Structure 1
Amino acid sequence: GGGAHGSDHEGCNLHGCQCCVVPRDFDVAVCHISTDFDSLAAAVGLARWRSAVTGEKAVVVVPGGEHPSVQRFLALYKQMLPLLFPAKAVDPRRLRWVGIVDNYRKERLGAAAEWPERAEQVAVYDHHRAATTNCDILNPNLTIQVDEVGATTTMIAEMLRDIGATLEPAEATLMALAIHFDTGNLTFETTTHRDVGALGWLMTQGATQRTINEFTHQMLSPEQQQMLNQGLQSLTRQSIHGLTLARVFLESETFRKGMSTVAQDILDLSGSDILILGITTKAKKKDSNEVQLSIIGRARARVDGIDMGEMFRLYGGGGHAKAASLSTKLPAEDAEPFVNDVADVVAGQIQPALMVEEFMNRSVVSCSVQTSMAQAKELLLAHDISGLVVLDDVDKLVGVITRYDIMMAELGNRTETPVTAWVTRPCKTLPPDAPLHDAERIMAEARIGRLPVIDAERKVIGIVTRTDVLRQRHLV
């Protein structure tokens, strides 16, 4: 009978009670809730690594919901990932080791939130810098590894490669997908050479390019398409220092999955530089006035000086400087004002535009209107430049001569003619107080590679080239 212990022995504290001894023999890698590809792939890889180094089986648990793309992947490939294990089947008393990936917050563990405190050992692997200082996961034997790479999966792939592990093609494909997703197919600023190297190794392990292509080109569901259309219709724009900040507030009766994809599409289709998207879901309790508010922030690579990940962490969210999210409960009437408050904080982080006079080249190579095309060519070659500023007799700007103009003069055997016959005029110019984005816009629209900077008297005081603009954009 149960006696003093009770029929199931729960809560028994009798010293030496052998009937209540539970072996610590369970190792588990845990994803975060709303599991994305990086979380799932890193967990699968980590479980494989743990099994290889200990000789004991480790499993993977998805503790609460998946991103729609991940759901679609698992619908097809779940049988090829035998490490997946249901959370409700885990006995926390048996936890020996818990590995946590792409997450450093207890609340994002969902059904597994209490597991770290019950386990003998816990290891956290993340590529978000904030994990080093903001991790709230507790365990006496806690280790945290944070590497600033494009994806947590990159870290795990390197660990597997270093022990000479061999993956199944489905595992390699999943991990390659994760790196592609979290690095924007290797285009995001957070991408490193390590991400490229990890992808290369995964290709040797049998990652399938056809599958990667299928899942990286996401098609919106009808529900997501509806939210996209609503977002584009309700979008409001604000111009700040030459950048466009877009705000979108949406309401939904039910939770909408995959809104991060919708947010990116709104950013792209609206031509905005920064997007703050808020969406509410009604509370499950009919008599409750509370809503669940999710806010997603996105910014283009050209936007400097903002860190949405750091700012969103103040509200319990997180992410990267230009891709972050947060979720909170609040009264329905406070939701839209809160989204606007968040957008205002982001707006306050936008730096004043860099002025042309701050980065223009003041050493301008020029020639007079009497200079021959042959002499102009010699000047271009001597200074290794592609264009010359042409000045009149009082040093005022006349126009610009380029290598193309000289090539045309050579084809016509007219290199002894003066540059005044070939000069491009009227010439596009900039004042010294023009912002960087004006220089970039004029160059793109006029398809030119250089812009003289002139003062009020049309005296040339500097020049801005494509290379100057690219350098300020950190693109060279």
Structure 2
Amino acid sequence: MVHGPQSASGRLGGLLVSRGQPYNVVLTHLSADFDSLAAAVGVAKLWNAEDRKVPTYVVLPRGAHPSVSKFLALHQELFPILGLELLDPTGARKVGMCDAQTRDRVGPASELLDQAESVHVYDHHVDKDSDIVDAVLHIESVGAATTVVTEMIRSGLEQGAGVGVQLTEAESTLLALGIHADTGSLTYDSATARDAAALAWLMMQGCQQTVVSEYTHTSLSEGQQSSLVEAFGSLEKRQHNGVSVGSVLLVNEERVAGMARFGAGGHPKAAAASVRLSGEDPETEALELMSSLVEAICKEQILEPELVAEDFMTSPVLSCQPSTTLLQAEEILRRHGLYALPVLGQQGEEADKLLGLITCAEISKAFRKDEQGAANRPVTGFMLTKVTRVCPSAPMHKIRKRMAESTRAGRAIVVDASGRLRGIITRTDLLRQYHFYRQLKRRGQGPLHREWIGAAAQPGEAICSSNPDADEVRSAAVAGFLG
């Protein structure tokens, strides 16, 4: 697959960790929450800036809270996160633990603690005792472990020692989520002025409040809950230019505190208004008013048509064939900085049809089990066959939902009615369309550049494109592969 330049400084690009290569790793606790994950990403940012020769990765030893999983389904590729199975324990140099002080809190990753030259603990539970011998402790009496790490990043920048530690918008947002989660948005007794100061500083670094609002849940009052139930029961929906327009009319005898007005609590695509009606039949009058408002919105085409897969998918796509060996696939992934490679049929009716997806994780697992024997085996024995497939006309919101439900490969493969590959959509491709982060510029499907593809195609690789102008270059690439 051919990609443009990376937009997020934290992204790994899907590279495998070479066996025997030294590395540092920062661990979250089991079932990672936002505080543990955010602190780990912050520490990795610091360590990667301090030593650029030895990379630092973030590992979630076992699972994550549902809200964190939902966040990572869309954001994972913006941070240096790797699966534990991709790391060779003997390569660990420095290990960090975030929001955890004991071995049992990191479960299967505890093996790394024995191999590391040093262990560093970042936590905010001052009443706990660490069982890690000779660990370097960074424990402060604040509301979140993320606050401890945020203060270290801020201090380094202000003292001129933080070159390369400038946070991206996504990183600032994640760190803010960590503090919000463990302090109840500064409402818990454990919250301190230092937590508030850290949040304020993160907002100045580009924290996106829209994202924080989406992943931070607050409880509703009894009146709000009652209104919400009524709203769901009376919701009316209609389609306009592929966009679903929903409207709700609520009739309240008493004022409900906290109901949003003209802006819907920060959601740019929603609004609410209170209207006093007069007349013999106020409910009918209200329904007519609501209907006319919805009609006006649709008539003026205030809402942009929703994008579909072919509007923002990446195409052409670098792929391989069923006969490609694991060693060849690993080399292709390394050379282009990719995480996954589509496997396409080669001859007859199966030509260009998607058979599966070979990923860095699957290759690493195979090498761990049988390194010498696996190298020359074809990818078909290890590829993922249950992958997210969408048609070119699939709407963006449905693609996002399906990718969130199936996070193993982190990609949606665009295929036509006959199953032939048209393009690929990564998490980052999807994030670009939501305007969450200005650093991820929105893009559509661009023109095919022959020079770009020609430079990317090497022996053992194939380019698959939905653009008919690419046939000449694509044929040459496939010929090189078969030769």
Q: Indicate the TM-score class for this superposition, using the shorter chain for normalisation.
A: 0.3 to 0.5
* TM-score, normalised relative to structure 2: 0.40
Tell me which protein shows more strand as a share of its residues. 1
Q: Which has the higher contact order (CA 8 A, sep 6+)?
A: 2
**Structure label with greater radius of gyration:** 1
